[in-house]
Structure 1
Amino acid sequence: MVCMNLVRDQNLPRTHGGTESFLDRDASEALHFILPLSHDYPGIERWFRSKVAPGLKDGTRHLLRVERDGKLAGLGIAKFDGKERKICTVRISPDYVGRGIGLRIFDGLLKWLDTDQPHLTISESKIQSFERIFDWYGFKLTATKSGLYVPNRNELLYNDQESD
């Protein structure tokens, strides 16, 4: 028997037309961990609740956690829905940057996606943090879109099949 601990996020607003959105403990912790990315990705909570959480249940999304000393040190989210193989989100806790956790997350997500050239996007302002990893894996910059998530900010698209 599988027991899921469902928790209501006390610090987060109700979503989905006023109905409460419940997440299991791991998903709730993951959501809180990625909320600092909302500066670059407004609406990240809504995306997580409406896309990631259901995708985790139906198997089209994968959440990879890396813990150190009993706390979440890094997290990655990938999507494979039969059409698109995408690395959606990767965040490393500032306390653990430069310790190989990013590579571990990318390796795990690539394995789950069963590809070495997944689609991904990144804010131009964050590329310096990921450039070495992208070079390591041979990811190809295929397009730049302005205002994709934040007005007047460029989002860099890698391995985008539609841009080839």
Structure 2
Amino acid sequence: MQSAVIDQDLALRDPERFIALGALAKSELTAVSALYPRFVQWYESKVEPGLLTGERKILVRASGGRLAGLAVLKLAQERKLCCLRVLPAFQGSGVGVRLFRDAFDILGTERPLLSVSNERLPMFERVFDYFGFRVGAEYVDLYRRDSLEYSFNGTLLVPNQRPPAR
């Protein structure tokens, strides 16, 4: 299994590869936009500029020459795993666990801040339990009306936050 990092260093070292991998990452990550309606705006206004300033990185994992998964990391202000996606053909193969471990190395913590929607929580519960992640807070209508988002390993500074259910 091969991995790459899309970041400021890659942009300086190999601009063509930076652009190609960045376009691939954006294309594959927009698959989560159904649950996060302003995802593309966030990606274009925060992630893309952050890659060039060093505030963000994207981990890319490939297997057998095919893209297997991606993770967007935030290194400024907080150590946050912003988005993680394992492509359907690789779900259950360990790619997600490897992405988490790579993210821990880059972020310098085994407890990065992250959030997940109530619809996606069942997909992540096993891996969150494996790593010992704990709910920090619940957020009402954070990204969509009539939805819940859960933070793990800390809390986000946003309105409509409530303590986790016990």
TM range (shorter): 0.7 to 0.9
- Give the TM-score normalised by the residue count of structure 2: 0.83
Q: Following the alignment from structure 2 to structure 1, what is the Cα–Cα distance between the partners of residues 78 and 87?
A: 27
* Structure 2 unaligned regions, length at least 5: 1-11, 157-162
Question: What's 1:9 paired with?
Answer: none
Question: What's 1:150 paired with?
Answer: 144
Question: What's 1:117 paired with?
Answer: 111
Counterparts of residues 70-109 of structure 1 (less than 5 Å): 70-81=65-76, 83-109=77-103
Query: SS of the residue aligned with 1:24?
Result: helix
Note if 1:39 corresponds to 2:34: yes
Runs of 4 or more above 6 Å deviation: none
Cα-Cα RMSD = 1.9
Question: What's 1:54 paired with?
Answer: 49
Q: Following the alignment from structure 2 to structure 1, what is the Cα–Cα distance between the partners of residues 81 and 13?
A: 28
Q: 1:106 to 1:3 in 2, by over 3 A?
A: closer
- Give the TM-score normalised by the residue count of structure 1: 0.84
Deviation at 1:69, TM superposition (A): 2.2
Question: What's 2:3 paired with?
Answer: none
Q: 1:161 to 1:38 in 2, by over 3 A?
A: closer
2:137/2:152 contact within 8 Å kept: yes
* Structure 1 unaligned regions, length at least 5: 7-22
Note if 1:141 corresponds to 2:135: yes
Deviation at 1:2, TM superposition (A): 3.7
User: How many residues of Structure 1 are paired with residues of Structure 2 in the alignment?
Assistant: 147
